[in-house]
Amino acid sequence: MAGITILDVARAAGVSTSTVSNLLNGRTGRMLPETRERVESTIKELGYRPNRAARQLRTGKPQVIGLVVPSVGNPYWGALARYLEAAALTEGYHVLLCNSERDPARERQYVDELVSDGIRGIVLCSSLPSLEHVSGLLDDGLRLVAFDRTAQADDPVGLVNVSVDNAVGAELMGEHLVSLGHRRIAFLSGAIRSVNRTERFEGFLRALERAGIARPDVVTWPGSSGAEGAFGDVEAAELGRVAATELLAGPNPPTAIFAVNDMTAIGVCRAVRDAGMEVGRDVSVAGFDDIVLAELYSPRLTTVRQPMKEMAAAAFRALHGPDEGPASQGTSLLFRPELVVRDSTAAVVA
Amino acid sequence: MAGITILDVARAAGVSTSTVSNLLNGRTGRMLPETRERVESTIKELGYRPNRAARQLRTGKPQVIGLVVPSVGNPYWGALARYLEAAALTEGYHVLLCNSERDPARERQYVDELVSDGIRGIVLCSSLPSLEHVSGLLDDGLRLVAFDRTAQADDPVGLVNVSVDNAVGAELMGEHLVSLGHRRIAFLSGAIRSVNRTERFEGFLRALERAGIARPDVVTWPGSSGAEGAFGDVEAAELGRVAATELLAGPNPPTAIFAVNDMTAIGVCRAVRDAGMEVGRDVSVAGFDDIVLAELYSPRLTTVRQPMKEMAAAAFRALHGPDEGPASQGTSLLFRPELVVRDSTAAVVA
DNA sequence: ATGAAAGCGCTAACAT
DNA sequence: ATGTTAGCGCTTTCAT
């Protein structure tokens, strides 16, 4: 099974460990084709597999990347984890999973820990607006990718941001809603604090402005209560429900509601039904993200898809690829969102 | 930052590396309290953290466990991953994430790879009925936990199975449905091949028999088509939809449908609506698992909850705890399921 | 109670 | 083209 070392291989093939090591590390030019073949077949025969710990100890670089997410229990992060792992696998890398549970202290501790374990590449899905606390590590040679976040002015140098183009995505949805004849459209979100949400809101406004819809007709719900604290899956839906209920009971209710993400949209759907109306027919509801649930929900949710697989692959490449010098500093990688029209939005009825 | 070694600590504290190492490994009895304190404060001061690679190289035991799941994109496995990681963290262990994508070859390869990386504990969520292919590894000292699976006759010795008590869970649901006045209840599942499904089906039958309901009244849908191949989230729902449509259009349709899991139940709900009926009022629908979605769906799904957090903690304990000798051989750890009544089931109308 | 020293398996100079 | 060898940071006998 295990227990076969590079020395065993070297002996069996009648060469030195260096030769085996050279072969293992792609320095094949340094040996006779004949030698190479012999060693290769010996490796296969013996079922030899290099010991990662030893390799890491020697090189300082483990074949592992770290992934820090709020919680893989959330399907959005689960999808990222899945695709990132798949991408890493193609290069023989493994993924160490860390759930921050949206606890900043825990998030920081995880990063520190990963670094001191020698890990040189981390995908961080931070709930913190500023990433200053990791800038020191970046100077130290750590490769850091911030996922689902776009670059900020005070970002540490060397940070790569991977995200969908939130503004464009929201704009697409705005256009869709407008083209359906909607004029009173609410943008529903918790407090628009995070970068993502701001971008989505602005993209949405852009679409409305282009359509000549006066800004006052746009309703936002800034989240009056402090109910946003925990911010888990269920909480996001609950927020959507409460806010939409309020909105719908108001004096001049919207004909369409664009929620900042799918979970919130699901809460909105419930509120619509609770108010005795039907989603799609009476009120259109749209989300953002296209989590698995969006397709499964009833009605199937119109939303904006993030190309998760491609984004995850890009995140891995940013960690693993060659250092691209200044170009890779403070960069954002924005991905093209896709409008997915399903059953929760429909033409406005006159 | 990093780069601080045990030697740095030893020098700074004026002791030898052995003493530091002894302290690190809990052999505190071997030194003067005074020495101990000095070393401890030095460690803190320097921000020293032992290098895992070196430790592993020396001991052969990494502080890492492996988790092999079909896909963390699936919220059920996502939840397991989350809780397992939390449990591991309490003992300073990390979790290496592997997505088998339900590919047996890939599953096997992952396990082999983890083992040859020196990992000694793996939680395996296999899609394979038999675990023979890993029995060799078990003899070799690997600790293996099979999750969501109960013991089989041909199980390799040393395997620990962690699972909810499927039979009891299904029995609870059966009782619930019967108590609501339902007499024609369908058990809806794909082909009942896996152990889990068999158990759920049998538990369900038990409840019906106790209530004196003739077995012929139970309808099962064995999955006539080969549509079950991929078996992803969406596919499970689709299966529920297709099967329920067929069932509802039949000569003597059931008043309640118990789906083998929540995803399938969601598909059933759609079929009910498509047939112009209302879930809960016209037809009761129940699921199994209590994934996040169950609570969020509309109507909120009545289901059987698996105590994921506890199950994950137990799985970790089985990997990490002391070897309990013969008692830990071929054992199953069955957890108590909990009936969660929500809105998708209601009393039958006469 | 503490220290000295021998490796764990591997890589990468540096020889030859 | 291939071999020799010095560690990477740590744990653990075995001395003292």
Query: What's the one-letter identity of residue A340?
Result: V
Residues of A in contact with B71 (CB under 8 A): 82
**B139-CA/C15-C1' distance, Å:** 44
Cα distance between residue B253 and residue B171, in whole Å: 22
How many whole angstroms separate alpha carbon B258 and alpha carbon B336?
19
How far: A20 CA to C16 C1' (Å)?
A: 18
Closest CA in chain B for residue A136:
B1
For residue A81, which residues of chain B lie inside 8 Å, CB to CB? Answer: 72-73, 78, 81, 97
Contacts of A273 in chain B (CB under 8 A): 298
> Could you say which of A54, A118, A298 has the minimum Cβ distance to residue B57?
A54
Q: How far apart are CA A258 and CA A287, in angstroms?
A: 6
**Minimal Cα distance from B272: which residue of A?**
A298
DSSP for residue B217? G
Averaged over A189-201, what is the pLDDT?
Answer: 81
Shortest CB distance from A73 goes to which of B79, B118, B295? B79
CA atoms within 13 A on the CB side of A291: 25
Buried b (16+ CB within 10 A) or exposed e, B255-271: bbbbbbbbbbbbbbbbb
From CA A140, how far away is CA A156, in angstroms rounded? 12
| Minimum-distance CB partner of A78 among B78, B98, B273 | B78
pLDDT for position A171: 97
Task: Express as a percent the part of chain B with pLDDT over 70.
Answer: 90
In window 31-60 of B, residues with CB < 7 A from nucleic chain D are: 50-51, 54-55, 57-59
DSSP E strand stretches across A73-165: 94-99, 121-124, 143-147, 160-164
Q: Which of residues 303-332 of A touch B (CB under 8 A)?
A: none
Residue B123, helix vs strand vs coil: strand
Chain A contact probe: residue of B83, B292, B306, B308 with most A CBs at under 10 A: B292
**What count of other Cβ atoms lies within 10 Å of the Cβ of residue B56?**
22
What pLDDT does residue B231 have?
45
Residues of B in contact with A299 (CB under 8 A): none
Task: Determine the distance in angstroms separating the CA of B53 from the nearest CA of chain A, rounded to an integer.
Answer: 5
Residue with more model confidence, A332 or A301? A301
Q: How far is CA A302 from CA A196, A235, A286, A314, B317, in A?
A: 19, 21, 5, 26, 43
Q: How far apart are CA B251 and CA A21, in angstroms?
A: 71
Span between the terminal Cα atoms of chain B, in Å: 73
The answer for A 2-21 residues in CB contact with B (under 8 A) is 2
Using an 8 Å Cβ cutoff, are A272 and A278 in contact?
yes
Q: pLDDT, tens digit, for every residue of B243-277? A: 899 889 988 899 999 999 999 999 999 999 999 99
Q: For A239 and C16, how far is CA from C1' in angstroms?
A: 74
Give strand ranges (E) for chain A: 64-69, 94-99, 121-124, 143-147, 160-164, 185-188, 219-221, 256-259, 284-286, 303-305, 331-335, 338-340
Scanning residues 68 through 97 of protein chain B, those with a beta carbon under 7 Å from any atom of strand D turn out to be none
> Are A110 and A137 spatial neighbours (Cβ–Cβ below 8 Å)?
no
d(CA A336, CA A222): 27
Give me chain B's average pLDDT, please.
Answer: 87
Q: Give SS3 for A321.
A: coil
A103-151 per-position pLDDT tens digit: 999 999 899 889 878 888 999 998 777 888 887 777 777 899 999 988 8
Instruction: Tell me what pLDDT residue B224 has.
Output: 45
Spatial separation of the C-alpha atoms in residues A299 and A297, rounded to whole Å: 6
Q: Which residues contact A161 (CB under 8 A, 6 or more apart)?
A: A145, A146, A147, A149, A150, A151, A155, A331, A332, A333
User: Is the pLDDT reported for residue A235 higher than 80?
Assistant: no
CA of B251 to C1' of D10 (A): 73
Query: What letter represents residue A45's amino acid?
Result: E
Judged against a pLDDT cut of 80, whether residue B1 lies above it is answered with: no
Nucleotide nearest A53 (Cα, C1'): C9
Considering only residues 4-63 of chain A, list those whose CB is below 7 Å from strand D: 10, 14-19, 22, 29-32, 34-36, 54, 57-58
Amino acid identity at A1: M
Q: Does B86 touch chain A (CB under 8 A)?
A: yes
D2 C1' closest Cα residue? A19
Nearest CA to B64 out of B15, B113, B106, B10 is that of B113
Taking the C-alpha atoms of residue A175 and residue A177, their distance in angstroms, rounded to an integer, is 5
- B331: enclosing H helix or E strand: strand B331-335
Which of A249-253, A320-324, B137-141 bottoms out in mean pLDDT, i.e. has the lowest? A320-324
pLDDT at A220 over 70: no
Q: Which amino acid is at B75?
A: P
Write out the E strands in A70-225. Answer: 94-99, 121-124, 143-147, 160-164, 185-188, 219-221
The per-residue pLDDT for range B186-243, each reduced to its tens digit, is 999 876 667 788 899 999 999 999 999 876 566 665 554 443 333 466 678 888 898 8
- The closest CB to that of A234, out of B118, B233, B296, belongs to B296
Residues with Cβ within 8 Å of residue A53, at least 6 apart in sequence: B53, B54, B56, B57, B62, B117, B118
pLDDT tens sequence across A269-309: 999 999 999 999 999 999 999 998 898 888 999 999 999 99
Q: Which one-letter amino acid corresponds to residue A82? A: R
Strands A160-164 and B331-335: unpaired
Residue nearest to nucleotide C6 (CA to C1'): B58
Q: Are B67 and B299 in contact (CB under 8 A)?
A: no
Given its phi and psi angles, is residue A91 left (phi above 0), alpha (psi -120 to 50 degrees) or beta?
A: alpha
In chain B, positions 230-259, which contact chain A (CB-CB < 8 Å)?
Answer: 233-234, 237
Q: How much is the pLDDT for B62?
A: 85
Pairing of strands B338-340, B256-259: unpaired
B118 in contact with chain A, both atoms CB, cutoff 8 A: yes
Chain B within 8 Å of A92 (Cβ-Cβ)? no
Please check the confidence at residue A230 and state whether its pLDDT lies above 80: no
> Best mutation site among A97, A269, A290, A344 for testing chain B: the one with the most B CBs within 10 Å?
A97
For residue B34, pLDDT beyond 50: yes
- pLDDT at position B332, please? 87
Nearest Cα of chain B lies from the Cα of A270 at a distance, in angstroms, of 7
- Map out the domains of chain B with their CATH numbers: 1-50 (1.10.260.40), 166-306 (3.40.50.2300)
